[in-house]
Amino acid sequence: ILEPILPRLQNLADHGSGNFSPPVYGSICNAAGTAFAVFGDQSGKPEWLGHSTAAFQSALYVYTRKDMPAQWAGTQNNLGNALMTLGARGEGEAAVIALNGAGKAYEAALE
């Protein structure tokens, strides 16, 4: 069900920052990141987990800890979830890097 809309969501997350207000753009990136993570996890296509982490990172440019702390913390948690899944599915150093990133994102969310 998600697969046909993923390229459109990716386009919005990658290029929509000038077309929407910052809070709306952050919401789009967060929703896109969630969709990418779900699809990547359920389909076994790890490249979508990578797209997910990028979308959450884009949301974090808008959702700052100072200005939007609840959204920032939620996005950090979402990023941690995506990195945890990516690390659990990966191998070697890439898996370790993803898992370390997940730990950092979860710690940031707790702040």
Q: For the segment 70-100, what is each residue's pLDDT rounded down to a tens digit?
A: 999 999 999 999 999 999 988 999 999 999 9
Task: Report the 10 Å Cβ neighbour count for 44.
Answer: 9
Q: For the segment 27-73, what is each residue's pLDDT rounded down to a tens digit?
A: 999 999 999 999 999 998 989 999 999 999 999 999 999 999 999 99
How confident is the model at residue 1, as a pLDDT? 83
**Residues 10, 92: Cα–Cα separation, whole Å:** 28
Q: What is the mean pLDDT of the chain?
A: 93
Q: What is the pTM of this model?
A: 0.92
3-state secondary structure of 111: coil
Q: For the segment 10-30, what is each residue's pLDDT rounded down to a tens digit?
A: 999 988 878 899 899 999 999
Q: How far are the Cα atoms of 9, 10, 17 from residue 4, in angstroms, in the given order?
A: 10, 11, 22
**Could you tell me the two tokens for 105?**
């994102």
**Residue type, position 18, single letter:** G
